[in-house]
Structure 1
């Protein structure tokens, strides 16, 4: 159970969207690779052993995604994979289309590659539940040539899902490529790349129980893209990234992918029930709180809850033994409110009063009970302090 992983302080871990606890299978595979010596590019026996671990991980990840091993490029994580995808695709002629609620790894990369050409970047809006508004797409494809459409499968802050089917169909008919940042989706819901039909997909191991610092880019065979590696040198990973392969991390990624795939349906259903219990418990205990994206399909283990007038940082500080988040972990400390919630029409005050709870494979019913108690008490404590300081 999640709380047993930190017995010293008995933490209730509800921050899987930031990083998931390392699965035992991934830990075993990572340690086994760390205890072995050998560069996966070396031709001697130890090098071949390291290469075999990498090959096994490719097969394991390909099994989870239903793709060919030759379509997988290992990276340092989804941020690098996103950069590779957008930089290579934008090297084709045309505009780059994405959404207003993407992760900063997409939005900042998109702004960087289109710098000096502001008209080449198009951001699709979302509705009040965070669902992408697809109505502008037809006009965009009629009015301009598009190089790439990049839309995330699941939002990292709200868990809101996007059905890519109409996007892929329209983009391909217009001659554009489609990329998806599937960082929060892979290992939590089924991915069948034969059905999904995107050209590129990014993922990160630590979101589904693998080690941090390793991920992958799926690049569909036959997709015509110029190499735009961020690191140049030895030409590893078919020229897409140079540098000695992170064999231990890759082995852990593969093991986590296989473990997640074996229990995908049962874990998704169980975690969905726990998320629902968390929301029911908090809405009953904290009148007036609101669930963001509740009207849209969402990931099974994610809930974004606004406690109006209660600063999220104060609520989190008042429940030190519950690990949750006030937004994207990659944006923590940022002086601006959540761009996702603002795009959904929330006020800055509401965005600053929102806590994200995210559950996963190791979350228990007891974790939820303790999380509800702690959050309700924390909100009451913050409310009391605010009321006291407001008195004349």
Structure 2
């Protein structure tokens, strides 16, 4: 039956936020101990500006872009809004996928409304991958911008950005990607992947919360239209005094992530696969959501047949996981991502996202499996007190009983 979650706490919610890396703590702390506005010309100001420049170079190295193609922001939400607002023009349409984060879908809707444009929403298959036929149909309307996330925040499903970029550019559209969940977890090279705009948040890969960046390709993106006014910071594209300590932490986290990116991804994938296999074996009826291979190495979306996610999470207070996006926690509506993939409302309500990362250990996984198994038995017993759970573990492969059709 597994066992209760006991100390130490098990953290499997990296898609909400990752633990801050030691390198980022050190860089942020050192910057906090210093003084100086990066826009000032005295020695302290120049030292702060040097810290910002170094961080910009480190983030650029992680992305494979030029340092002057980066604009520091408060995170991906601001970067998404900045990108979409800057790309939109009067009367032109925008294209987004049905599984985008609200920071993209709601921004696109607001911008389209303000310029008398239209938003085309492209669906996804049961496995969470894009419906390319719908993308091609939307591109026939000559949109100004296509915004497709690099990796889904709930399922980890990866999009074929190379193909999206090729199709969109052939139609004359710019391409933006919310790469919040991808950056720092899998390699990306913007010198080869010809995205026009890309957003990221540092706290997803070990930087402090509240700092991120927008990549805007030099020479191909129209002038960035700031969301606020009142200063010439970031070359006039994002006014406001720079968050030097946060930016220092972002740079340090980027450098640390880049150092062993591929090795860490492989290690985390092994842990994720073991977690899924053992949980689906121990808990009959458990199903995995999303493409089995085309996904982030550390994300596992599991549907527990007939077991409400909120009850399961309450039964394992020593384990951090999520019903879906942390930004929508507490919402009464089920996940729009899972519904777009064809899950029923009941299935979506019985789904938990587990996400692993740089500090996850094999012991964490061993204890998490026991904890989840115990919670499922506890909740099932509470829901069906007169029923004995003796069903055999599923043996039909890693997806459980659900098919994930392409």
Is 1:100 equivalent to 2:98 in the alignment? Answer: yes
Q: Which consecutive segments of 4 or more residues in structure 1 shift more than 3 A?
A: 116-119
- Structure 1 unaligned segments of length 5 or more: list them: 1-7
The answer to whether the 8 A contact 1:158-1:293 is kept is yes
Tell me which residue corresponds to 1:189: 186
Tell me which residue corresponds to 1:252: 249
Deviation of the 1:117 alpha carbon: 7.4
SS at match of 1:233: coil
SS at match of 2:215: strand
Take 2:117 and 2:191, find their aligned partners in 1: how far apart are those partners?
33
The answer to whether the 8 A contact 2:165-2:194 is kept is yes
The count of corresponding residues between Structure 1 and Structure 2 is 383
Tell me which residue corresponds to 1:203: 200
The answer to whether the 8 A contact 2:91-2:115 is kept is no
Take 1:55 and 1:106, find their aligned partners in 2: how far apart are those partners?
28
Higher helix fraction (1 or 2): 1
The answer to whether the 8 A contact 2:31-2:245 is kept is yes
Is 1:345 equivalent to 2:322 in the alignment? Answer: no
The answer to whether the 8 A contact 1:89-1:225 is kept is yes
- Structure 2 unaligned segments of length 5 or more: list them: 1-5, 388-406
Take 1:17 and 1:72, find their aligned partners in 2: how far apart are those partners?
23
For residues 132-160 of structure 1, give each alpha carbon's deviation from its aligned partner in whole angstroms, at most 9, with x where no partner exists.
Answer: 11112333233x22100000010000000
Tell me which residue corresponds to 2:24: 26
Is 1:242 equivalent to 2:239 in the alignment? Answer: yes
Is 1:373 equivalent to 2:374 in the alignment? Answer: no
The answer to whether the 8 A contact 1:153-1:161 is kept is yes
- Within a 5 Å distance, the mapping from 1:255-274 to structure 2 comes to 255-274=252-271
Tell me which residue corresponds to 2:81: 83
Take 1:92 and 1:86, find their aligned partners in 2: how far apart are those partners?
13
RMSD of the TM alignment (CA)? Answer: 1.6
SS at match of 1:115: helix
The answer to whether the 8 A contact 1:92-1:147 is kept is no
Deviation of the 1:111 alpha carbon: 1.4
Is 1:222 equivalent to 2:219 in the alignment? Answer: yes
Take 1:335 and 1:245, find their aligned partners in 2: how far apart are those partners?
37
Take 1:377 and 1:182, find their aligned partners in 2: how far apart are those partners?
35
- What's the TM-score, normalizing by structure 1? 0.95
Structure 1 residues 310 and 159: alpha-carbon distance in aligned structure 2, compared to 1, 3 A threshold: same
Take 2:231 and 2:106, find their aligned partners in 1: how far apart are those partners?
28
- Within a 5 Å distance, the mapping from 1:1-392 to structure 2 comes to 9-91=7-89, 93-115=91-113, 120-142=118-140, 144-388=141-385
For residues 302-335 of structure 1, give each alpha carbon's deviation from its aligned partner in whole angstroms, at most 9, with x where no partner exists.
Answer: 0000001111011001000001101000110111
SS at match of 2:18: coil
- Compare 223-232 and 13-22 and name the one that shifted more: 223-232
The answer to whether the 8 A contact 1:66-1:193 is kept is yes
Deviation of the 1:242 alpha carbon: 1.0
